[in-house]
Amino acid sequence: MDDAAALLITVTGRDRPGLTSRLCAELARADARILDMEQVVIQDRLVLGILVSPGGDVDPVREALEAVAAEHGVSCEVEQVSHRRPERRDPVDRHHVSILGQPLRPGAIADITAAIAAVGGNIERIERLSRYPIMSFELLVSGVADTAVLKGSVGPAAAAARVDVAVQRAGLHRRAKRLIVFDVDSTLVDGEVIELLAAHAGCAEEVAEITERAMRGELDFEQSLRARVALLEGCPASAVDHVRSHLRLTPGARTVIRTLSRLGFVTAIVSGGFTQVTDALAADLGVDYAYANTLEIVDGTLTGGLVGPVVDRQAKARHLEQVAAREGVPLSQTVAVGDGANDLDMLSRAGLGIAFNAKPVVREQAEVAVNVPYLDAVLFLLGITREEIERADAEDPSLDLPPPPPVDDP
Protein backbone atom coordinates (compact mmCIF):
# COMPACT_ATOMS: atom_id res chain seq x y z
CA MET A 1 0.00 0.00 0.00
CA ASP A 2 1.44 3.46 -0.91
CA ASP A 3 1.48 6.42 1.46
CA ALA A 4 -1.64 8.08 -0.04
CA ALA A 5 -3.99 5.09 -0.03
CA ALA A 6 -5.67 5.70 3.34
CA LEU A 7 -8.87 7.47 4.40
CA LEU A 8 -9.37 9.16 7.75
CA ILE A 9 -13.06 9.18 8.68
CA THR A 10 -14.05 11.59 11.46
CA VAL A 11 -17.61 11.43 12.81
CA THR A 12 -18.92 13.97 15.34
CA GLY A 13 -22.32 14.67 16.85
CA ARG A 14 -24.83 13.19 19.30
CA ASP A 15 -24.09 9.56 20.03
CA ARG A 16 -26.64 7.18 18.48
CA PRO A 17 -27.02 3.42 19.04
CA GLY A 18 -26.10 1.45 15.94
CA LEU A 19 -24.08 4.22 14.29
CA THR A 20 -20.72 2.41 14.44
CA SER A 21 -22.33 -0.78 13.15
CA ARG A 22 -23.83 0.97 10.12
CA LEU A 23 -20.58 2.74 9.26
CA CYS A 24 -18.59 -0.48 9.47
CA ALA A 25 -21.19 -2.30 7.37
CA GLU A 26 -20.69 0.26 4.59
CA LEU A 27 -16.92 -0.15 4.87
CA ALA A 28 -17.35 -3.91 4.60
CA ARG A 29 -19.45 -3.52 1.45
CA ALA A 30 -16.68 -1.37 -0.02
CA ASP A 31 -14.11 -4.05 0.89
CA ALA A 32 -12.20 -1.48 3.00
CA ARG A 33 -9.72 -2.58 5.67
CA ILE A 34 -9.71 -0.90 9.08
CA LEU A 35 -6.22 0.22 10.08
CA ASP A 36 -7.07 2.08 13.28
CA MET A 37 -10.15 3.20 15.21
CA GLU A 38 -10.82 5.20 18.36
CA GLN A 39 -13.95 6.68 19.93
CA VAL A 40 -14.68 9.13 22.74
CA VAL A 41 -18.09 10.11 24.15
CA ILE A 42 -18.44 13.22 26.32
CA GLN A 43 -21.91 14.25 27.55
CA ASP A 44 -23.55 12.09 24.84
CA ARG A 45 -21.43 13.80 22.17
CA LEU A 46 -19.42 11.46 19.99
CA VAL A 47 -16.02 11.82 18.38
CA LEU A 48 -15.21 8.71 16.29
CA GLY A 49 -12.11 8.34 14.16
CA ILE A 50 -11.57 5.43 11.72
CA LEU A 51 -8.51 5.03 9.52
CA VAL A 52 -9.12 2.66 6.60
CA SER A 53 -7.48 1.35 3.50
CA PRO A 54 -10.16 1.63 0.79
CA GLY A 55 -10.82 -1.44 -1.31
CA GLY A 56 -11.55 0.59 -4.46
CA ASP A 57 -12.74 4.03 -5.52
CA VAL A 58 -12.89 6.61 -2.74
CA ASP A 59 -15.98 8.55 -3.87
CA PRO A 60 -18.55 5.74 -3.43
CA VAL A 61 -17.19 5.07 0.07
CA ARG A 62 -17.42 8.75 0.98
CA GLU A 63 -21.00 9.01 -0.32
CA ALA A 64 -22.14 5.90 1.53
CA LEU A 65 -20.62 7.07 4.82
CA GLU A 66 -22.06 10.57 4.50
CA ALA A 67 -25.51 9.07 3.85
CA VAL A 68 -25.29 6.99 7.04
CA ALA A 69 -24.13 10.06 8.99
CA ALA A 70 -27.01 12.17 7.66
CA GLU A 71 -29.49 9.45 8.62
CA HIS A 72 -28.18 9.51 12.19
CA GLY A 73 -27.92 13.30 12.44
CA VAL A 74 -24.14 13.46 12.78
CA SER A 75 -21.34 15.00 10.76
CA CYS A 76 -18.91 12.88 8.77
CA GLU A 77 -15.64 14.09 7.27
CA VAL A 78 -13.67 11.78 4.95
CA GLU A 79 -10.11 12.87 4.27
CA GLN A 80 -7.45 11.18 2.16
CA VAL A 81 -4.26 10.98 4.18
CA SER A 82 -0.78 9.52 4.03
CA HIS A 83 -0.38 6.35 5.99
CA ARG A 84 2.82 4.54 6.78
CA ARG A 85 3.31 1.44 8.84
CA PRO A 86 3.74 2.64 12.45
CA GLU A 87 7.30 2.57 13.67
CA ARG A 88 8.04 0.01 16.34
CA ARG A 89 8.09 1.94 19.61
CA ASP A 90 10.62 1.39 22.30
CA PRO A 91 8.48 0.06 25.19
CA VAL A 92 10.18 2.43 27.68
CA ASP A 93 9.35 5.46 25.56
CA ARG A 94 5.84 5.96 26.96
CA HIS A 95 4.61 7.29 30.28
CA HIS A 96 1.35 7.78 32.11
CA VAL A 97 1.05 11.33 33.43
CA SER A 98 -1.77 11.64 35.99
CA ILE A 99 -3.06 15.12 36.85
CA LEU A 100 -5.19 15.54 39.99
CA GLY A 101 -6.70 18.70 41.40
CA GLN A 102 -9.48 20.22 43.43
CA PRO A 103 -10.23 22.24 41.38
CA LEU A 104 -8.37 21.37 38.19
CA ARG A 105 -8.49 24.50 36.05
CA PRO A 106 -7.72 24.78 32.32
CA GLY A 107 -4.66 26.92 33.06
CA ALA A 108 -3.10 24.11 35.09
CA ILE A 109 -3.62 21.62 32.27
CA ALA A 110 -2.24 24.14 29.76
CA ASP A 111 0.92 24.62 31.81
CA ILE A 112 1.51 20.90 32.39
CA THR A 113 0.90 19.94 28.76
CA ALA A 114 3.23 22.75 27.68
CA ALA A 115 5.86 21.29 30.00
CA ILE A 116 5.37 17.89 28.33
CA ALA A 117 5.84 19.43 24.90
CA ALA A 118 8.92 21.34 26.08
CA VAL A 119 10.85 18.07 26.55
CA GLY A 120 9.62 16.54 23.30
CA GLY A 121 6.64 14.66 24.68
CA ASN A 122 3.57 13.91 22.58
CA ILE A 123 0.17 13.26 24.17
CA GLU A 124 -1.34 10.20 22.50
CA ARG A 125 -4.44 9.80 24.63
CA ILE A 126 -6.30 11.55 27.45
CA GLU A 127 -8.70 9.73 29.76
CA ARG A 128 -10.76 11.19 32.58
CA LEU A 129 -10.38 9.11 35.73
CA SER A 130 -12.69 10.98 38.10
CA ARG A 131 -14.92 14.02 38.44
CA TYR A 132 -15.19 13.90 42.25
CA PRO A 133 -14.15 14.20 44.99
CA ILE A 134 -11.30 15.42 42.83
CA MET A 135 -10.96 15.91 39.09
CA SER A 136 -8.29 13.72 37.55
CA PHE A 137 -7.04 12.90 34.08
CA GLU A 138 -4.49 10.44 32.76
CA LEU A 139 -2.36 11.34 29.76
CA LEU A 140 -0.47 8.75 27.74
CA VAL A 141 2.73 10.46 26.66
CA SER A 142 5.30 9.23 24.15
CA GLY A 143 8.59 10.68 22.96
CA VAL A 144 10.40 11.04 26.29
CA ALA A 145 12.56 8.07 27.26
CA ASP A 146 13.89 9.47 30.54
CA THR A 147 11.30 9.48 33.35
CA ALA A 148 13.38 11.93 35.39
CA VAL A 149 13.39 14.42 32.52
CA LEU A 150 9.61 14.26 32.19
CA LYS A 151 9.12 14.56 35.95
CA GLY A 152 11.54 17.45 36.11
CA SER A 153 9.55 19.33 33.50
CA VAL A 154 5.96 18.74 34.68
CA GLY A 155 6.69 18.86 38.42
CA PRO A 156 7.39 22.62 38.68
CA ALA A 157 4.41 23.39 36.42
CA ALA A 158 2.10 21.36 38.66
CA ALA A 159 3.51 22.91 41.83
CA ALA A 160 3.00 26.41 40.45
CA ALA A 161 -0.60 25.53 39.55
CA ARG A 162 -1.15 23.87 42.98
CA VAL A 163 -2.22 20.56 41.52
CA ASP A 164 -0.71 17.07 41.77
CA VAL A 165 1.01 15.29 38.92
CA ALA A 166 2.36 11.75 38.85
CA VAL A 167 4.61 10.28 36.17
CA GLN A 168 4.86 6.52 35.74
CA ARG A 169 6.32 4.38 33.00
CA ALA A 170 3.68 2.73 30.83
CA GLY A 171 3.65 -1.04 30.49
CA LEU A 172 2.22 -4.26 31.83
CA HIS A 173 3.96 -3.83 35.20
CA ARG A 174 1.53 -1.03 36.09
CA ARG A 175 -1.44 -3.36 35.73
CA ALA A 176 0.30 -6.20 37.55
CA LYS A 177 0.36 -4.66 41.05
CA ARG A 178 -0.79 -7.28 43.60
CA LEU A 179 0.16 -6.04 47.10
CA ILE A 180 -0.43 -2.66 48.74
CA VAL A 181 0.91 -1.58 52.13
CA PHE A 182 -0.37 1.46 54.03
CA ASP A 183 1.03 3.48 56.85
CA VAL A 184 -1.69 4.24 59.40
CA ASP A 185 -1.28 7.54 61.29
CA SER A 186 -2.12 10.50 59.01
CA THR A 187 -2.45 8.11 56.08
CA LEU A 188 -5.14 5.51 56.66
CA VAL A 189 -6.54 7.46 59.63
CA ASP A 190 -6.82 11.15 60.37
CA GLY A 191 -4.30 12.25 62.98
CA GLU A 192 -1.67 10.58 65.17
CA VAL A 193 -2.80 8.00 67.71
CA ILE A 194 -0.04 8.78 70.19
CA GLU A 195 -1.04 12.45 70.24
CA LEU A 196 -4.65 11.48 70.95
CA LEU A 197 -3.47 9.26 73.81
CA ALA A 198 -1.24 12.04 75.13
CA ALA A 199 -4.26 14.33 75.33
CA HIS A 200 -5.92 11.78 77.64
CA ALA A 201 -2.76 11.43 79.70
CA GLY A 202 -2.34 15.21 80.07
CA CYS A 203 1.07 15.28 78.37
CA ALA A 204 0.16 16.53 74.90
CA GLU A 205 2.70 19.40 74.93
CA GLU A 206 5.57 17.17 76.05
CA VAL A 207 4.79 14.59 73.38
CA ALA A 208 4.57 17.29 70.72
CA GLU A 209 7.98 18.65 71.78
CA ILE A 210 9.60 15.22 71.38
CA THR A 211 7.91 14.79 68.00
CA GLU A 212 9.36 18.14 66.91
CA ARG A 213 12.83 17.10 68.01
CA ALA A 214 12.51 13.91 65.97
CA MET A 215 11.44 15.93 62.94
CA ARG A 216 14.56 18.10 63.36
CA GLY A 217 16.68 14.93 63.32
CA GLU A 218 17.74 15.16 66.97
CA LEU A 219 16.15 11.77 67.76
CA ASP A 220 15.63 8.70 65.62
CA PHE A 221 12.20 7.11 65.42
CA GLU A 222 12.75 4.46 68.12
CA GLN A 223 14.20 6.99 70.56
CA SER A 224 11.34 9.39 70.04
CA LEU A 225 8.70 6.64 70.23
CA ARG A 226 10.03 5.23 73.50
CA ALA A 227 10.33 8.73 74.97
CA ARG A 228 6.75 9.59 74.06
CA VAL A 229 5.35 6.26 75.24
CA ALA A 230 7.15 6.71 78.59
CA LEU A 231 5.08 9.85 79.12
CA LEU A 232 1.92 7.72 78.95
CA GLU A 233 2.82 5.83 82.13
CA GLY A 234 -0.17 5.57 84.44
CA CYS A 235 -2.71 6.32 81.72
CA PRO A 236 -5.70 3.96 82.01
CA ALA A 237 -6.10 1.39 79.22
CA SER A 238 -9.64 2.69 78.76
CA ALA A 239 -8.06 5.71 77.05
CA VAL A 240 -6.81 3.39 74.31
CA ASP A 241 -10.32 2.01 73.92
CA HIS A 242 -11.71 5.53 73.69
CA VAL A 243 -9.18 6.60 71.05
CA ARG A 244 -9.81 3.47 69.04
CA SER A 245 -13.58 3.92 69.06
CA HIS A 246 -13.34 7.60 68.06
CA LEU A 247 -10.69 7.22 65.39
CA ARG A 248 -11.63 8.83 62.07
CA LEU A 249 -10.67 7.17 58.83
CA THR A 250 -9.15 9.31 56.09
CA PRO A 251 -11.84 10.03 53.47
CA GLY A 252 -11.70 7.32 50.82
CA ALA A 253 -9.95 4.76 53.05
CA ARG A 254 -12.78 2.22 52.96
CA THR A 255 -13.20 2.72 49.23
CA VAL A 256 -9.54 2.08 48.41
CA ILE A 257 -9.28 -1.04 50.58
CA ARG A 258 -12.62 -2.42 49.33
CA THR A 259 -11.78 -1.79 45.68
CA LEU A 260 -8.27 -3.22 45.77
CA SER A 261 -9.45 -6.30 47.68
CA ARG A 262 -12.02 -6.90 44.92
CA LEU A 263 -9.19 -6.75 42.39
CA GLY A 264 -7.33 -9.48 44.26
CA PHE A 265 -4.75 -7.26 45.96
CA VAL A 266 -3.17 -8.45 49.18
CA THR A 267 -3.56 -5.57 51.66
CA ALA A 268 -1.42 -4.72 54.67
CA ILE A 269 -0.93 -1.98 57.22
CA VAL A 270 2.49 -1.34 58.72
CA SER A 271 2.42 1.24 61.48
CA GLY A 272 4.67 2.93 63.99
CA GLY A 273 1.52 3.10 66.11
CA PHE A 274 0.03 0.43 68.35
CA THR A 275 -1.52 -3.00 67.84
CA GLN A 276 -4.21 -2.16 70.38
CA VAL A 277 -5.58 0.19 67.69
CA THR A 278 -4.35 -1.24 64.37
CA ASP A 279 -5.55 -4.83 64.92
CA ALA A 280 -9.16 -3.69 65.28
CA LEU A 281 -8.74 -1.31 62.35
CA ALA A 282 -7.45 -4.11 60.12
CA ALA A 283 -10.34 -6.37 61.12
CA ASP A 284 -12.88 -3.62 60.45
CA LEU A 285 -11.50 -2.84 56.99
CA GLY A 286 -10.77 -6.43 55.99
CA VAL A 287 -7.00 -5.89 55.72
CA ASP A 288 -4.98 -9.08 55.32
CA TYR A 289 -1.88 -8.21 57.38
CA ALA A 290 -1.23 -5.74 60.20
CA TYR A 291 2.04 -4.87 61.95
CA ALA A 292 2.56 -2.28 64.70
CA ASN A 293 4.10 -1.74 68.13
CA THR A 294 2.46 -3.08 71.28
CA LEU A 295 1.86 -0.95 74.36
CA GLU A 296 2.60 -2.70 77.64
CA ILE A 297 -0.51 -2.76 79.82
CA VAL A 298 -0.51 -4.15 83.36
CA ASP A 299 -3.62 -4.26 85.55
CA GLY A 300 -5.51 -2.00 83.16
CA THR A 301 -2.84 0.70 83.11
CA LEU A 302 -0.16 1.71 80.59
CA THR A 303 3.30 1.12 82.03
CA GLY A 304 5.05 3.56 79.70
CA GLY A 305 6.83 0.71 77.95
CA LEU A 306 6.52 -1.38 74.79
CA VAL A 307 6.41 -5.13 74.29
CA GLY A 308 8.64 -6.63 71.60
CA PRO A 309 10.74 -5.00 68.90
CA VAL A 310 9.88 -1.56 67.58
CA VAL A 311 8.37 -1.16 64.10
CA ASP A 312 10.67 1.56 62.82
CA ARG A 313 11.77 2.71 59.37
CA GLN A 314 13.80 -0.40 58.61
CA ALA A 315 11.14 -2.72 60.02
CA LYS A 316 8.45 -1.21 57.80
CA ALA A 317 10.48 -2.04 54.68
CA ARG A 318 11.24 -5.48 56.08
CA HIS A 319 7.54 -6.23 56.66
CA LEU A 320 6.78 -5.19 53.08
CA GLU A 321 9.39 -7.63 51.82
CA GLN A 322 8.21 -10.42 54.12
CA VAL A 323 4.55 -10.13 53.11
CA ALA A 324 5.53 -10.00 49.45
CA ALA A 325 7.65 -13.14 49.84
CA ARG A 326 4.92 -14.96 51.77
CA GLU A 327 2.34 -14.12 49.09
CA GLY A 328 4.70 -14.82 46.19
CA VAL A 329 4.52 -11.23 44.93
CA PRO A 330 7.64 -9.69 43.32
CA LEU A 331 8.56 -6.33 44.85
CA SER A 332 8.01 -4.75 41.43
CA GLN A 333 4.31 -5.59 41.85
CA THR A 334 3.92 -3.88 45.23
CA VAL A 335 2.64 -0.45 46.25
CA ALA A 336 3.43 1.41 49.48
CA VAL A 337 1.65 4.52 50.79
CA GLY A 338 2.87 6.71 53.63
CA ASP A 339 3.56 10.24 54.83
CA GLY A 340 6.52 10.23 57.23
CA ALA A 341 10.28 9.87 57.11
CA ASN A 342 9.98 6.43 58.71
CA ASP A 343 8.06 5.36 55.57
CA LEU A 344 10.86 6.25 53.15
CA ASP A 345 12.55 2.83 53.07
CA MET A 346 9.20 1.15 52.50
CA LEU A 347 8.28 3.62 49.74
CA SER A 348 11.62 3.18 47.96
CA ARG A 349 11.55 -0.62 48.22
CA ALA A 350 8.04 -0.97 46.71
CA GLY A 351 7.40 -1.10 42.98
CA LEU A 352 5.43 2.13 43.40
CA GLY A 353 5.92 4.41 46.40
CA ILE A 354 3.22 7.03 47.00
CA ALA A 355 3.72 9.94 49.41
CA PHE A 356 0.26 10.87 50.70
CA ASN A 357 -0.05 14.39 52.14
CA ALA A 358 3.51 13.84 53.22
CA LYS A 359 6.24 15.83 54.89
CA PRO A 360 8.42 17.80 52.40
CA VAL A 361 11.38 15.41 52.69
CA VAL A 362 9.10 12.49 51.83
CA ARG A 363 7.45 14.27 48.88
CA GLU A 364 10.87 15.05 47.45
CA GLN A 365 12.13 11.47 47.63
CA ALA A 366 8.99 9.45 46.83
CA GLU A 367 8.32 8.28 43.30
CA VAL A 368 4.81 9.81 43.35
CA ALA A 369 3.27 12.38 45.69
CA VAL A 370 -0.38 13.39 46.10
CA ASN A 371 -1.63 16.17 48.34
CA VAL A 372 -5.40 15.87 47.99
CA PRO A 373 -7.19 14.81 51.20
CA TYR A 374 -8.77 11.67 49.71
CA LEU A 375 -7.00 8.33 50.02
CA ASP A 376 -8.91 6.79 47.12
CA ALA A 377 -6.85 9.04 44.82
CA VAL A 378 -4.42 6.11 45.06
CA LEU A 379 -6.82 4.19 42.82
CA PHE A 380 -6.60 6.81 40.10
CA LEU A 381 -2.81 6.51 40.10
CA LEU A 382 -3.31 2.81 39.32
CA GLY A 383 -5.51 3.71 36.34
CA ILE A 384 -8.80 2.76 38.02
CA THR A 385 -11.66 5.13 37.18
CA ARG A 386 -14.37 6.47 39.47
CA GLU A 387 -17.02 4.93 37.20
CA GLU A 388 -15.45 1.47 37.63
CA ILE A 389 -15.42 1.90 41.40
CA GLU A 390 -19.07 2.96 41.52
CA ARG A 391 -20.16 0.18 39.19
CA ALA A 392 -18.52 -2.43 41.41
CA ASP A 393 -20.09 -0.88 44.53
CA ALA A 394 -23.54 -0.85 42.92
CA GLU A 395 -23.25 -4.56 42.12
CA ASP A 396 -22.28 -5.45 45.71
CA PRO A 397 -25.43 -6.41 47.66
CA SER A 398 -23.61 -6.15 51.00
CA LEU A 399 -23.12 -2.40 50.63
CA ASP A 400 -25.60 0.28 51.55
CA LEU A 401 -23.91 3.37 50.17
CA PRO A 402 -25.48 6.78 49.46
CA PRO A 403 -25.83 7.65 45.77
CA PRO A 404 -22.92 9.57 44.24
CA PRO A 405 -23.28 13.34 43.81
CA PRO A 406 -24.37 14.72 40.42
CA VAL A 407 -21.58 14.48 37.88
CA ASP A 408 -21.60 18.23 37.26
CA ASP A 409 -20.67 19.01 40.86
CA PRO A 410 -17.37 20.92 41.09
The residue from 164, 185, 312, 376 that is catalytic is 185
Assess if residue 325 is contained within a domain: yes
Question: Is the model's pLDDT at 327 over the cut of 80?
Answer: yes
Tell me the pairing of strands 135-142 and 179-182: unpaired
Q: State the pTM of this model.
A: 0.85
Average pLDDT of span 177-189: 95
Query: What's the pLDDT at 86?
Result: 56
Q: What pLDDT band is residue 402 in, cutting at 50, 70 and 90?
A: low
Query: What's the pLDDT at 101?
Result: 93
Pick the closest to residue 291 from 150, 184, 146 (CA basis).
184
Question: Is the model's pLDDT at 407 over the cut of 90?
Answer: no
Q: 136 with 22, same domain?
A: no
Question: Is the model's pLDDT at 1 over the cut of 50?
Answer: no
What is the average pLDDT score of the chain?
A: 90
The residue from 183, 312, 343, 345 that is catalytic is 183
The CATH code of the domain that includes 123 is 3.30.70.260
The number of helices, as runs of H, and strands, as runs of E, in the chain is 16, 15
Query: What's the pLDDT at 403?
Result: 66
Range of the domain at 382: 180-191+248-393
Express each pLDDT in 278-294 by its tens digit: 999 999 999 999 999 99
Of all residues in the chain, the percent with pLDDT exceeding 70 is 94
Q: What pLDDT band is residue 54 in, cutting at 50, 70 and 90?
A: confident
Q: Is 305 left (phi over 0), alpha (psi -120 to 50) or beta?
A: beta
Q: 257 with 386, same domain?
A: yes
64, 7 in Cβ contact below 8 A? no
Assess if residue 229 is contained within a domain: no
Question: Is the model's pLDDT at 370 over the cut of 80?
Answer: yes
To the nearest 10°, report the CA torsion of 273, 276, 277, 282: 100
Average pLDDT of span 190-211: 92
Assess if residue 74 is contained within a domain: yes
Peptide bond into 103 cis (omega under 30): yes
Question: Is the model's pLDDT at 84 over the cut of 70?
Answer: no
Number of domains comprising the chain = 3
Rg (CA), the chain: 27
Q: What pLDDT band is residue 410 in, cutting at 50, 70 and 90?
A: very low
Question: Is the model's pLDDT at 409 over the cut of 80?
Answer: no
Query: What's the pLDDT at 281?
Result: 96
- Distance between CA atoms of 176 and 196, rounded to whole angstroms? 38
Q: 164 with 271, same domain?
A: no
Q: What pLDDT band is residue 317 in, cutting at 50, 70 and 90?
A: very high
Q: 291 with 349, same domain?
A: yes
Q: 143 with 279, same domain?
A: no
CB atoms within 10 A of CB 208: 14
Question: Is the model's pLDDT at 55 over the cut of 90?
Answer: no
Q: 142 with 35, same domain?
A: no
> 117: burial class by Cβ within 10 Å (0-12, 13-18, 19+)?
middle
Question: Is the model's pLDDT at 168 over the cut of 60?
Answer: yes
Query: What's the pLDDT at 172?
Result: 75
Query: What's the pLDDT at 147?
Result: 93
Assess if residue 242 is contained within a domain: no
Express each pLDDT in 207-263 by its tens digit: 989 988 876 668 888 999 999 999 999 999 999 999 999 999 999 999 999 999 999
Q: 101 with 31, same domain?
A: no
Pick the closest to residue 51 from 14, 85, 89, 102 (CA basis).
85
Strand (E) or helix (H) holding 98: strand 94-101
Assess if residue 402 is contained within a domain: no
Q: 164 with 313, same domain?
A: no
185 carries an active-site annotation: yes
Highest mean pLDDT among 8-22, 169-183, 212-226: 8-22
Q: 43 with 138, same domain?
A: no
Assess if residue 228 is contained within a domain: no
Q: 272 with 366, same domain?
A: yes
Q: Rounded to the nearest 5°, which phi and psi values hold at 144?
A: -125, 110
Question: Is the model's pLDDT at 406 over the cut of 80?
Answer: no
312 carries an active-site annotation: no
Q: 185 with 321, same domain?
A: yes
